[in-house]
A and B are shown apart, each in its own frame.
Chain A
Amino acid sequence: MHDQTIYWIWLNEMRGITLREKRKLLSSLSSPQNIYHASPSTIIDILETKQGRAGSVAESKRESYGSLWSSRNLANAEAILANNEQHSIHLLSPDHQRYQPIYAADTKAPLVLYYKGRLSPPETPVIGVIGSRASTSYGNLVTKAAVATLVEKGNTVASGLSFGIDALAHQTTLENHGITYAFIPCGLHKAQPASHTELMEQIADTGAVITPYAYGKEALPFRFIGRNDVLATWCDTLLVVEARKRSGSMHTARSALKKGKRVLAVPNSLLEPKSSGTNLLLTEGAKAYYDDQLQFGGCYSSIPTSHPDEEDVIGVLNENPLTTSEIVDMVPDLSLSVMECLTDMELSGKIVFRSDGRWHLVGGL
């Protein structure tokens, strides 16, 4: 069959008709190439079959479809296609076997998705792990533990490449040698946020970075919403770790609920404003995420230690972040000097000195 790629891009990018109308044209004319070569009158007939009403509205639409069709051209699509080829961006269209089931299951799924990297086979479940950009240590801890478990069970972890929970979900997956998808709200010419460029490249090495937006499209507010919908469509299950009531994560979660996906929310204290959204989701049809392993020291029992002192220091830091002198008070019988010990641990990425003037376990409380 003739390559339809350029026509898919053209149809997807075309303005002036809605996604619903594009889908209608597709079901009648079966391929975008046919749509491109159809005469304006054919198009108008298909789009207006059910509009029995005569009158000014239908008349004006008739005219606008006409002018739309007479001015159609492939220049824009050709430019996008050229960029895709140059930057090894792949295209997912409804005739692609990987995208077909997703496209068919959701009437609002976009015609075309772009991706970099490689997609895992369709039978691998995709679990979305999303949450606040301003994550708390509680959220970080749950994310790390949950993602580690998900990867171990062979799931693909999807998220939005944002700061906080999203980035942590991607990073933890990569650390555990799992496969992760990043859904971004702009074209694949850059990372959003830009400081995650390196992370985006790492993700594309083993997994994929997916977006409904063509090369060169910037991250405008409405595109975040479009991205959220695609993420919700693509996931089999969505785990929301931390979200405020009004947030992008809540939008994704509600979108997934509407599509009938399984949504898990991480419960937290009702007094915690940073979890107000996730707690609210539990009343809207989401299920509570539960993991009793976390009660027993979380994932920190497994940090490899190179020195007995480190074990002691991790032991006290697991309870609370501490200042240097507090560590000295609580672990009095260090064999090395405390500074030596902290330097080693800092260099190996186990602890970090934060702006409250205290040492924190990385990703921990």
Chain B
Amino acid sequence: MATVIRSLGINGIEGYPLAVEVAIIAGLQATTIVGLGDAAVKEAKDRMEACTEELSFAYPSKKVVVNLSPSDIPKRGAYLDLPMLIGLLVESKQVRPRIEDWQEIACVGGISTTGALVGFNGVLPMAIQAHRMGWKKLIVPLDCANEASLVKGLDIIACETITQVIQFLEGRLHLSPHKTDQDPILRERTSKEGDFLDVVGHDDIMPYLAAAVAGNHNLLLVGIPGAGKTLMARLLPTILPPMNEQEILEVSSIYSIAGELDGHELKTNRPFRCPHYNMSSHALIGGGPQAKPGEVTLAHRGILFLDELPEFGRKTLESLRLPLEDKRVTISRVNQTNRYPSDFMLVAAMNPCPCGYAGTSRCECTPYAIRTYRQRISGPILDRIDMQKYVGRVEFKDGHLMKGNTSSKDLRNSVMEARERQKYRFQKGEEHITTNSQMNSSQLRKYCTLDDDCASLLQRTYERDQLSVRARYKTIKLARTFADIQGSASIERAHLIHALFSRDLEKEISHHA
């Protein structure tokens, strides 16, 4: 009867249970690995042969069939080497596991011909899945043990060599579960990346930044070079609210699969991604032959910052339309189709014109050049950006370097309060959302009632600026966020006015025409 070893695979950003079945049957000496493995999986055969030799075992001189079940899901990577080798040695009766319930121990890992175990990307989602299914023990290479042991309630057995694994299974070596020194619900590390106190002369725009973060609204900053757009955007992580445990694991899984989990530690800070404008749409959305996650997924639960927005390729920018609305992307390739989450806050920065100085006497652009430049951001994309704010030039009253008036701490406090209010409201209403920007139209009607005065003001603006229905909804959501920041139960006129002042770029475009 065939030997079955428990293991795990990765599909999208989630792990799934997998059984490695090894059978040795009558026939000429040959090894077949079935179950839609890629080249790395197939090559395991030679690694196994070399390793059995290295460890002074004998490779079976019959036909070896390895089935990776479920056999209809494509597998890629070398992390199934270890279960295959163990299965082979157990099936050929060269290794006799003696410890209790050894069949319930799962293992994953790559092997090297020297007999050592090799780490791989994506162990975290596997560990999460193992825990979810109530498995108790998981053998992993020491390289990725820290990452795997971030999951509580699952014993991670970290091994350095194949011999250690064999000795452990035979009960000749005792290994206690690996402990990471990192506490998963450890408070976020305090950011050393500056403070909004460094931003001088932009007091007008601070409430808008706080509102954008509080309600998770997309934000576009438009201003002359050197006005401080990039600085402000890069400081936004200092006022982001911390992630909860579920979010931390979700984000860390994504980074684990992408191989970007630095030092195999959990991502406790919200992601802040700032890709260069030279990127392709595949890098942004995800893709490649293996349908890997793109920047929109890596920015999940965090900020995607696109500096110099008009410089991005048109195709790249347009591909943002769906992830911005749906909060997830589906990548289809020949090999597989993956669905990745992409619930991010878009922050973008751009100059008002090609020379960069529109609105000042230095600008030499013709109105036509300015229009063409601004048209690089298509209507549908602009429409999906809740706030477009002009960032003006700062005039220093004297030569001294000044300090700003608003600190990150103050802003963050108002963000946190507003977030709490939103969370409370939506929890009470039994909605599955946490921020205002996620409201759909029925939720909008339920939670954002406008009095007659506000409604008529909105209608006047709506008609004059020819706002789209979506823009109108976004304005109301923003007004709701401003009300939350002020701690007001209803949307007052002042909140709506703030929201109406959040579409500077679109207003100017509609006026110019």
Contacts and interface: CB of A to CB of B under 8 A. Distances in A.
Interface of A: 133-134, 136, 163-164, 193, 195, 323-325, 337, 339-340, 342-343, 347, 352-358
A357 B392 contact: yes
Interface in B467-513: 493-494, 497-498, 500-501, 504-505, 507-508, 511-513
B390 A354 contact: yes
Contacts of A323: 204, 392
Which 5 interchain pairs have the tightest Cβ spacing? A357-B392, A356-B359, A355-B352, A355-B359, A163-B367
Interface stretch (B13-21, B113-121, B273-281, B457-465): B457-465
Contact of B391 (A163, A164, A357): A357
A133 B372 CA distance: 14
7 contacts: A134-B363, A164-B367, A340-B493, A353-B504, A355-B508, A357-B223, A357-B391
Contacts of A343: 457, 497, 500-501
B497 A339 contact: yes
A347 B501 CA distance: 11
Interface of B: 203-205, 222-224, 227, 352-353, 358-361, 363-368, 371, 390-393, 457, 460-461, 464, 493-494, 497-498, 500-501, 504-505, 507-508, 511-513
B391, B508, B513 interface centre (most CB from chain A within 10 Å)? B513
Contacts of A354: 359, 390, 508
A337 B364 CA distance: 36
Contacts of B511: 352
Contacts of B504: 353, 355
A337, A342, A355 interface centre (most CB from chain B within 10 Å)? A355
B497 A340 contact: yes
A133 B511 CA distance: 16
Nearest to B365: A134
A357 B393 contact: yes
Contact of B203 (A325, A339, A352): A325
A337 B368 contact: no
A163 B507 CA distance: 18
Contacts of A358: 359, 392
Given A356-B358, A358-B392, 19 more contacts: A134-B365, A134-B366, A136-B361, A163-B368, A195-B512, A195-B513, A339-B501, A340-B497, A353-B501, A354-B508, A355-B353, A355-B359, A355-B504, A356-B392, A357-B205, A357-B223, A357-B227, A357-B359, A357-B392
Contact of B390 (A133, A193, A325, A356): A356
A361 to B, nearest CB: 14
A258 B500 CA distance: 52
Contacts of B390: 353-357
Contacts of B393: 356-357
Nearest to B493: A340
B204 A357 contact: yes
Contacts of A339: 494, 497-498, 501
A164 B371 CA distance: 13
A343 B507 CA distance: 13
Nearest to B457: A343
B341 to A, nearest CB: 35
A255 B182 CA distance: 81
A166 B222 CA distance: 28
Nearest to B222: A355
A324 B497 contact: no
A133 B497 contact: no
B368 A347 contact: no
Contacts of B464: 347
A355 B366 CA distance: 15
Contact of A325 (B204, B461, B508): B204
A297 to B, nearest CB: 21
A195 B512 CA distance: 9
A123 to B, nearest CB: 36
Nearest to B360: A356
A149 B368 CA distance: 29
A342 to B, nearest CB: 8
A342 B368 CA distance: 29
B501 to A, nearest CB: 7
Contacts of A337: 494
Contacts of A352: 508, 511
A4 to B, nearest CB: 40
Contacts of B391: 357
Contacts of B364: 134
Contacts of A164: 367
Contacts of A355: 222-224, 352-353, 358-359, 390, 504-505, 508
A347 B390 CA distance: 18
A273 to B, nearest CB: 8
A353 B507 contact: yes
B223 A347 contact: no
Nearest to B496: A343
Nearest to B369: A134
A358 B392 CA distance: 7
A193 B457 CA distance: 33
A356 B351 CA distance: 10
Contacts of A356: 224, 358-360, 390, 392-393
A149 B460 CA distance: 32
A307 to B, nearest CB: 15
A133 B223 contact: no
Contacts of B508: 352-355
A93 to B, nearest CB: 34
A352 B457 CA distance: 17
A347 B498 contact: no
Contacts of B361: 136
B196 to A, nearest CB: 16
Contacts of B205: 357
Nearest to B363: A134
Contacts of B353: 355
Contacts of A342: 501
A195 B222 CA distance: 23
A136 B203 CA distance: 28
Contacts of A163: 366-368
Nearest to A196: B513
B513 to A, nearest CB: 5
Nearest to B361: A136
Nearest to A343: B497
B33 to A, nearest CB: 62
Nearest to A197: B513
Contacts of A340: 493-494, 497
Nearest to A358: B392
A209 B494 CA distance: 45
Contacts of A193: 368
A347 B508 CA distance: 13
Nearest to B513: A195
A134 B457 CA distance: 33
A324 B204 contact: yes
A195 to B, nearest CB: 5
Nearest to B500: A343
A323 B391 CA distance: 10
Nearest to B511: A352
Nearest to B393: A356
Contacts of B363: 134
Contacts of B358: 355-356
Nearest to B352: A355
